[in-house]
A and B are shown apart, each in its own frame.
Chain A
Amino acid sequence: SQQGEEDPQALSIQEGENATMNCSYKTSINNLQWYRQNSGRGLVHLILIRSNEREKHSGRLRVTLDTSKKSSSLLITASRAADTASYFCATGSDRGSTLGRLYFGRGTQLTVWP
């Protein structure tokens, strides 16, 4: 499968703490994206990291990519209750017949308690 796998499946923390979610994948990729989904809503794009990048920041978000280990992590610093959502990684295929497609993982459910 070209799907990424997030770990952990669920994460529960207090406001102000940092939250770290991991994504592992099996095939080579050209890009990796992270999305957030609030309950009952569509997905919202957070960040895209290309295969030749190792780290990217956006506000309180930090994403790392290690292509040798086929893994990525999403760090949310100083979490807020409003960060409660499911977080998905999506890997971009670099293979011929599926070139350019996105494959989504099953997600990490993050709960941030006030």
Chain B
Amino acid sequence: NAGVTQTPKFQVLKTGQSMTLQCAQDMNHEYMSWYRQDPGMGLRLIHYSVGAGITDQGEVPNGYNVSRSTTEDFPLRLLSAAPSQTSVYFCASSRGQFAGYEQYFGPGTRLTVT
């Protein structure tokens, strides 16, 4: 099992550009989520999904879109990149409701917006 994979590992964007961060898991997990990690801030939840076709907003959803057309994939779209979105982004999955189950994290995508 590859677990949770994320691409790309690194990305540099100019302000106003858009891009999609990819996340895939091969564990047949229903629950998936996106977090951002900023220095001194811990991880903050951006969006999450409890199954294919079902998504919802987390703590910091502005500027990001998600969709979940399959169980395996949960891409995160930056609509118009801003320097404030410079961060490390982690995708995670679990077999049940987040708080009650172990979260499996991907290796992260380090994004810089200039």
Contact = CB atoms under 8 A, between A and B. Distances in A.
- The answer on A and B forming one complex is yes
Interface of A: 3, 29-31, 33, 35, 40-45, 48, 88, 90-94, 100-107
Nearest to B39: A106
Contact of A30 (B100, B104, B106): B100
A74 to B, nearest CB: 15
A17 B58 CA distance: 39
Contact of B107 (A3, A41, A93, A106): A41
A100 B41 contact: no
20 contacts: A33-B99, A33-B103, A40-B108, A42-B106, A43-B43, A43-B90, A43-B92, A43-B103, A45-B103, A48-B101, A48-B102, A91-B99, A92-B98, A92-B99, A100-B97, A100-B100, A104-B35, A106-B40, A106-B42, A107-B42
Interface of B: 4, 35, 40-45, 48, 58, 90, 92, 97-108
A27 to B, nearest CB: 12
A36 to B, nearest CB: 11
- Consensus secondary structure, chain A interface: strand
Nearest to B100: A31
A42 to B, nearest CB: 4
Nearest to A88: B42
B41 A106 contact: yes
Contact of B90 (A40, A42, A93, A94): A42
B105 A43 contact: yes
Contacts of A100: 97-100
B100 A105 contact: no
B27 to A, nearest CB: 13
Contacts of A101: 45, 48, 58, 98-99
